[in-house]
Amino acid sequence: MDDVLKEQLVARFRDYLDRASAPDPDSDSDPAWHPGAHDRREPAADETAPDLFTLLAELAALKSEVKLESRQVKGALDEFRSLFETVRTSQTRLDEEAKRRRESERQLEQEAQRELLLELLNLRDRLEAGHYQARRFRPSGFGQRKAQIFVGSMAEGLAISLRRLDETLARREVRAFDTLDHRFDPHRMRASELADDPERPEGVVVEELRKGFLIGDRLLRPAEVRVNRPSRERARTPDKPRLNH
């Protein structure tokens, strides 16, 4: 029911109440009228005021329609809440999927970067080995002086390349870690060889065969080392006393 019809019904009800409570305007001017007389003026037949039954019926219909509209509004609100919950659940699921996708992309990027850094470390191993051999090279025979100059220049060039590569790795938080004279760490080191040195403690790294590197606080490449492990027989055999002659 629209607002215009509601206003009309309220106005008609108010007019009916006014007419019912107001005295008859023609009763004072009628000379034949006196208290107790039975000839009160009846309302005209063409009066437009509705009777009470009709008005109450229309009010009941209005109340019923308001209840119906209230139920419809409540149903619409419930549906809206359900849709809102669905949207929120979908948004949460999308956020979780986006988070997993970003994490997967980050892991793929880290893995690709790790592979590249390992290739650079292999290149560094070759440069370091070449620089070491060039520094140890001692030419002999004919053309010794020229060979010495050439090898010295090559060693200097290798040193420059090695230093620049180390700077590139440092910018990516890649750094070597010390192993020599440290206890063997199975999480960071690989024991490629064993040494038998009774003068040094067991389990100590006596030689570094290949450098190990970290990226930040994570292991990038384990170090290959030689670990001291004195012979058990030698450790159990006491030294024989020396005889003085």
Residue type, 123: L
- Residue in the structure block whose two tokens are 């063997």: 184
**β-bridge partners, 226:** 193, 207
**In this predicted structure, what is the pLDDT of residue 48?**
56
Q: What are phi and psi of 240, to 5 degrees?
A: -75, 140
Q: Residue 33: its pLDDT value, please?
A: 44
> Which pLDDT belongs to residue 119?
94
Residues facing residue 176 across a β-bridge: 213
- Helical H segments across 1-51, by residue range: 3-21
**Got the DSSP string for 86-123?**
HHHHHHHHHHHHHHHHHHHHHHHHHHHHHHHHHHHHHH
User: How would you label 76-99 residue by residue, b for 16+ Cβ within 10 Å and e otherwise?
Assistant: eeeeeeeeeeeeeeeeeeeeeeee
Query: In the numeric block, which tokens belong to residue 50?
Result: 């509705």
pLDDT confidence of residue 84: 85
| Cβ–Cβ < 8 Å for 195, 208 | no
Give residue 59's pLDDT.
Answer: 78
- Sign of the alpha-carbon torsion through 132, 136, 140, 143: positive
Instruction: Answer for the pair 234, 206: CB distance below 8 angstroms, yes or no.
Output: no
Q: What distance in Å separates the CA atoms of residue 168 and residue 165, rounded to the nearest whole number?
A: 5
Q: Which CATH architecture has domain 174-235?
A: Roll (2.30)
How many Cβ atoms are within 10 Å of 6's Cβ, its own excluded? 13
Among 233, 237, 212, 241, CA closest to 224: 212
Q: What is the pLDDT of residue 163?
A: 94
- The residue extents of the domains of the chain are 112-171, 174-235
Pick out the chain residues at pLDDT < 50: 29-40, 43-46, 235, 240-245
CB atoms within 10 A of CB 174: 19
Tell me if the pTM is above 0.75.
no
Contact present, 196 and 233 (Cβ < 8 Å): no
Question: What secondary structure letter does DSSP report for 241?
Answer: P
